[in-house]
Each structure stands twice: as structure tokens, then as C-alpha cells.
Amino acid sequence: MRPIGMIGGTSWHSTIEYYKLINEMVGEKIGTQGNPPLILYSLNIELMRSGDKEKINQKYLEVSQKLQKAGAQAIIICANTPHMVFPFVTPKIDIPILHIADAAGKEAQKKGIKKLALLGNKPTMTGRFIQSHLKEHYDIETIIPDDQYLDKSHYFVSKELTRGKFTEEAKSFYVNQMELLKSRGAEGIILGCTELPILLDQKDFDLPMIATTQLHARMAADFILN
């Protein structure tokens, strides 16, 4: 098995889910008598909340280099938003970063989806690091909620979900957003906050949900098992 470096902490709730899923998925192949080699570096979520892109880039580079030195043969970032560092960090290390948009894009391709809606916090929805990757590598169009809903989505992610609070109010808000996005032509929904699959389940809506946490963890498990 090949060791993977995990960069977590943003939030620790989703990091736990990643750790659990990767162990379970590898266990499906090797049996529960063993477990995969994982090297976890947990960052303080306040770094990401600061919005200081230069500081964020430098810290993720520093951590990636430490994980490489510790023996990791690939890196998985256990959240959506920090993938903003991908173009900065990747050329400066010698091991791959498993991009979360690849996990989403491959699943959408399997389902024949060409237009995806993206839900998450404001930087993830309005940034180009997921949308551009999907367009460039999978020719998938991505749409996001209308401007008047972006701040409320950001509130639920940053003030509730990443702090372990999962309410019916938040669930109702996101189900309504999915209805609106479906009316605009969305064929599937990217749950682009790694806590959203904890809040929402496929039974909550009739469009395919692309749950990035599970799909990304599967990428890691496949890499570990070569």
C-alpha cells in the first residue's frame, strides 16, 4: 500500500469523515484486520477564514513539503475550498495532489451529466478553482445559486456546518436552492462543502448528488491500493 498525506482541519468534522471513509474503503479490499498508511496534518481552520491567499498558499506548500518528506506518495486535501492552492503548490512538490474536482468530474461523466450546480461556501462557489477544472478537464458547465443566496449559503457553511451544527433550517435552505438550480438546467448537484453530505442525503432530492467527500476518499483509497 502506498502512503498518503492528509491535510485536514478545515473543518475537523470532515477530516474525521475522510479518515473513517478511507480506512473503510481500503478495508473492503484488504480486510478489517489491517489499515492503510496515512499521515495526517491538521491545520487551524482560522487560516482559511483569514482569506489571506498568500499566507494560505505558503502554509499549504510548507505542509505539503513536510508530508512528502515524511514519506507520503500523494496528498489529499480534506476540504473543497483549500483546493484554491492547487496551482501554487503542485509545481513545487514531487508528489501529486488528488484534486477534488477530478473526483466530481469523473462521477459526473459516468452519469452523463454535462451541467452541474455547485453548493458550498462563497469562496468555493464564486472561485474558479473547481469550475475551471471541471470545464477544462471534463467539459462540464457549472452553475451556482443566484447572488442573493450566496451569503446565506456561506453563513450556513462557516457558522454552522464547519462547527458541527446541522439544522433543519440549513437543510431546508439547500433543498430549496437545489430546486432553483434544477429549474435553471442543473442535471446534478455538487455538494461542494465536505460537511454538506453530512447534512444532506440522496433521498432528499431527485437529482444526482455528487458528494465530494465520499468520491474524494475513494480516489485516495484507490491510490493507496495502486
Decide which of 3.40.640.10, 3.40.50.300, 3.30.460.10, 3.40.50.1860 is the CATH code for 101-211: 3.40.50.1860
* Helix H or strand E encompassing 75: strand 75-77
* CATH fold group of domain 4-99+215-225: Rossmann fold (3.40.50)
Would you list the domain boundaries of the chain?
A: 4-99+215-225, 101-211
Q: What pLDDT sits at residue 67?
A: 97
Listed ranges 84-98, 152-166, 187-201; the one with the highest mean pLDDT: 84-98
Q: pLDDT over 70 for what percent of the chain? A: 100
Q: What pLDDT sits at residue 31?
A: 85
Mean pLDDT across the stretch 130-143?
Answer: 92
Q: What pLDDT sits at residue 146?
A: 93
The three-point CA angle 166-172-176 to 5° equals 140
Same fold, 4-99+215-225 and 101-211: yes
pLDDT tens digits, 163-202: 888 999 999 999 999 999 999 999 999 988 878 888 888 8
Burial group, residue 191, by CB count within 10 angstroms (0-12, 13-18, 19+): buried
Q: What pLDDT sits at residue 63?
A: 96
Whether residue 161 contacts residue 199, with contact meaning beta carbons closer than 8 Å, is answered with yes
Closest by Cα among 16, 226, 163 to 24: 16
- pTM, to two decimals: 0.84
26-35, 88-97, 103-112: least confidently modelled range: 26-35
Q: What pLDDT sits at residue 99?
A: 94
* Separation CA 97–CA 7 (nearest Å): 10
